[in-house]
Amino acid sequence: MTEELRFVIHKHAARRLHYDLRLEWEGVLKSWAVPKEPTAERGVKRLAIEVEDHALEYIDFSGDIEEDNYGAGKVEIWDSGEYEMLECGEELIRFRLHGKKLKGHFKLVKMKWSPGNQWLFMKGKEDSDPRSLKSAATGQQREDSEAPPPGRAKRKRKESKMAKVDIEYTDRLAETVEALADGRVLLASQGKSGKPNAMAIGWGTVGVVWGRAMFVVLVRPSRHTYKLMEEIDDFTVNVAPPELKDAVTYCGTASGRDHDKLKEKKLTTSPGKKVKSPIIEECILHYECKVVHKNDVIKNELAKAIISEFYPEGDYHRIYFGEILATYATK
């Protein structure tokens, strides 16, 4: 018989409102900070950042944590009850909750292409065979997915060849990292004039900063894109398919001051959903980002080997922290 354990989800109004998922396990409360309210809706993933274990006594806590203390703010019990641990692995944790709000099978899946403390918290399929589960962070299809019959799926893809579908920013991180390394990523922007421009980027990183999903990119002051991004604080990151690699390379060597690169390479733009900068329609994956912080590379704080290799003539990058507002891809 599966052991009955206790769980609690605290609603924590600290400096930024979030929810703390805590599972009783091996004498402590294993804990994850969840930036958005947990949900029992299938297919909806919530970022869950693993934090330090808490003492079991904390499971019943509610009240105010005083100022000048870690986590200062009001703490309420949002949900609680018993749960059953179904599987506890290094990359997958499956459990069945018996709470007042959350009931049934849930799981935590570790994100392979992000820092080691980042997981995805989501509703699982009831009575699924644990042997059929594969990590959601790998992008592989799972046997518990609700896939349509093959014939219907094939017709649907044909009807919407260039249609875009919203996804979680974590869904295709591996593909994005590979494209950066392969030289198939375009940074798109536009200044006050409204004329779009694109430049190739090979450096960038995705993660969580200040509790927000963030795409960090680097742009040198000598680049035309730098001027545009200083005029309008947003940008899009666009992953191109392999057949467009030559076009991306050209966008990384020609300057938008002298060339209409998009027109020359027959690339088209579409308006962003949540930012002023456009997306590149022929690309297969898009991140819309709003700049929330920027700073310059500090020469005196940089390793000499990096300076000699990448900055022999100066022109140190400005680093843009772009909060990811939307992510979508070609079906």
| Domain ranges within the chain, ordered by starting residue | 4-138, 165-330
pTM: 0.55
Q: Rounded distance, CA 218 to CA 8, Å? A: 41
Tell me the C-alpha distance between 10 and 71, whole Å.
12
CATH: 2.60.40.420, 1.10.3720.10, 3.90.1150.10, 2.30.110.10. Which one for 165-330?
2.30.110.10
Q: Which residue, among 166, 169, 167, has the nearest Cα to 177 in the 3D structure?
A: 169
Q: What is the CA radius of gyration of the chain?
A: 23
Residue whose entry in the numeric block shows the structure tokens 């579409």 = 270
Is 243 strand, coil or helix? helix
**Helix spans in 160-236 (H):** 173-182, 224-231
Could you tell me if 219 and 226 are in contact, meaning their C-beta atoms sit under 8 angstroms apart? yes
In tens digits, the chain (331 residues) has pLDDT values of 456 799 999 999 988 899 999 999 999 999 999 989 999 988 888 889 899 999 999 999 999 988 877 778 999 999 999 999 999 998 899 999 999 999 999 999 987 655 568 889 999 887 544 433 333 343 333 333 344 444 433 333 333 346 899 999 988 888 898 889 889 999 999 989 899 999 999 899 999 999 899 999 999 999 999 999 999 999 999 999 999 999 999 998 888 888 999 999 999 999 999 999 999 999 999 999 999 999 999 999 999 999 999 998 899 999 999 999 999 999 8
pLDDT computed for residue 13 by the predictor: 92
Q: In this predicted structure, what is the pLDDT of residue 1? A: 44
Q: 137-159 burial, b if ≥16 CB within 10 A, otherwise e? A: beeeeeebeeeeeeeeeeeeeee
